[in-house]
Amino acid sequence: GGRPTDEERHRAAAILELVGLGGMAGVPVEVLSLGHARLLELGRALITDPDLLLLDEPSSGLDRVEALALAAVLRSTQQERHTAVLLVEHDLEMVRRVVSRLFVLDFGSVLASGPVEEVLGDDRVRHAYLGRGVA
């Protein structure tokens, strides 16, 4: 407990910068937009310096601009911090921007896996997620 050390404050400030909230350090959490709150949640996870982030539907409820901001932070986190990201997500734009390898499940079984565009172009995937007559 107690007050944060200078080192802890410095780490927190660095994480806020990383997630794009550096200028909002003094803003009460309850007044943050959903997009900013989601970025703050990501920052809370990143301050632990994880090797792997497991994110379940991180773009849920976000508008397109907020989702793109989150995707950019996730991509830079992967590249700069070498943090692996396991993403459970239905937002295909988010998937395309964040992941390099995609596994598509259909009723709990792997339907297809591989590079993102290859998997998304797979007729079985298109049929399972977009319906009959698409394939």
Region at 34 (left for phi over 0; alpha for psi -120 to 50; beta for the rest)? alpha
Number of domains into which the chain is organized = 1
Give CA 31 to chain center in angstroms. Answer: 22
pLDDT digits (tens, 9 = 90+) for 10-50: 999 999 999 999 999 999 999 999 999 999 999 999 999 99
Q: Give the pLDDT of residue 43.
A: 96
**Residue 62 is assigned to a structural domain of this protein:** yes
Q: 68: domain range?
A: 6-99
Dist CA 70 CA 19 (whole Å):
8
CATH code for position 39: 3.40.50.300
Per-residue pLDDT at 132 exceeds 80: no
62 has pLDDT over 60: yes
Can you give the pLDDT at residue 130?
Answer: 75
CB 106 within 8 A of CB 128: yes
- pLDDT category at 131 given cuts 50, 70, 90 is confident
pLDDT mean over 66-93: 94
- Classify burial at 99, counting beta carbons within 10 Å of its beta carbon; exposed 0-12, middle 13-18, buried 19 or more: buried
**pLDDT for position 129:** 82
- Asked if residue 116 is part of any domain, the answer here is no
Residue 135's pLDDT band, with cuts at 50, 70 and 90, is: very low
pLDDT at 133 over 70: no
Q: Is residue 133 part of a domain?
A: no
Q: Which residue has the tokens 């920052």?
A: 43
In a domain, 24, yes or no: yes
Reported pTM: 0.83
Angle of helix 6-18 relative to helix 34-46, nearest 10 degrees, comes to 130
Crossing angle of helices 64-81 and 6-18, rounded to 10° = 120
- pLDDT of res. 119: 96
Structural domain includes residue 115: no
Is 54 contained in some domain? yes
